[in-house]
Amino acid sequence: MTDEPSQQHPIRIYLIVWGLLFLISALSYMTDFIDRGFWRWALILLFMALKAGFIVAVFMHVRWERLALMAVVLAPPILLLVLVGLMAIESDYTRSIRFEYFAEGVQEEALPVSTSNKHN
């Protein structure tokens, strides 16, 4: 068959990453108990990036691929960062415009989740 970077790796590495993914997921879940603020967001994003990184690099094999394939896969999503960044600025602007012009009747606190009709 044609020469290619070896697709086979010892099973150990997959099991290790698998375990890591469980661990990081558990840690992500724990962030739910931190109050909203910088640290909550930072940890959510960090764990998300770590999990994504492991899945792409190991499970999807990108770590062992040639750079050409890595470039084809990883370069286009960079364009998305522009979209995300600009949309964040735009949405924030929209919100501030709404507060400026339609300020009456805005609630600041979320409605409490009613527990009376929740079943087990």
Partner 1 sequence: MTCAVGVERKSVQGASEAPPLMTSFSADWGSDISTLKGVPWGKAMMWVFLVSDTFIFTCFLVGYMAVRMSTVEPWPNPSEVFALQVFGNSVPLLLIAIMTFILISSSGTMAMAVNMGYQRRKDAATSLILVTALLGAMFVGMQAFEWSKLILDEGVRPWSNPFGAPQFGAVFFMVTGFHGLHVSAGVVYLLTIAFRLRRGKYDESNFEIVEITGLYWHFVDLVWVFIFALFYLW
Partner 2 sequence: MTEFEAPYQETMDVQHPRSWITRYWFSQDHKVIAVQYGVTAIAVGLVALVLSGLMRIQIGFPGLLPFITPDIYYQAVTMHGMIMVIFLLTAFLLGAFGNFCIPLMLGARDMVFPFVNMLSYHVYLLSVVVLMASYFVPGGPTGAGWTLYPPQAILPGTPGVDWGIVTMLLSLIIFVVAFTMGGLNYITTILQARTRGMTLMRMPLTVWGILMATVLGLLAFPALFVSAVMMLLDKLVGTSFFMPAIVSFGQPLEYSGGSPLLFQHLFWFFGHPEVYIVALPAFGVVSELISVHSRKNIFGYRMMVWALVAIGALSFVVWAHHMYVAGMHPYFGFFFATTTLIIAVPTAIKVYNWVLTLWKANIKLTVPMLFALAFILTFVVGGLSGLFLGNVIIDVPLSDTYFVVAHFHMVMGVAPILVIFGGIYHWYPKLTGRMLNNALGQLHFWVTFLGTYAVYYPMHYLGFIGVPRRYYANGVESDFYPASAVTLNEFITVAALVVGLMQFVFVYNLIASYFRGKRAGPNPWGATTLEWQTPNTPPDHGNWGGTLPTVHRWAYDYSVPGEEQDFVPQNVERRS
Residues 68-97 close enough to bind partner 2 by CB under 8 A: 72, 76, 79, 82-83, 86-87, 89-91, 93-94
CA distance 2 to 83: 40
CB crowding 63-77: b at 16 or more within 10 Å, else e? eebeeeeeeeeeeee
Q: Least distance in Å: CB of 30 to partner 1?
A: 10
Site for partner 1 in 16-55 (CB under 8 A): 17-18, 21-22, 25, 28-29, 31-32, 41, 44-45, 47-48, 51-52, 55
CA dihedral 47, 49, 51, 55 (to 10 degrees): 180
Site for partner 1 in 77-96 (CB under 8 A): 77, 80, 83-84, 87-88, 90-92, 94-95
Residues 39 and 33: beta-carbon distance below 8 Å: no
Residue 39 contacts which entry, partner 2, partner 1, none (Cβ below 5-8 A, type-dependent): none
Task: Fill in the DSSP letter of residue 63.
Answer: G
Size of the site for partner 1 (CB under 8 A): 71
Residues 48 and 28: beta-carbon distance below 8 Å: yes
Q: Least distance in Å: CB of 82 to partner 2?
A: 5
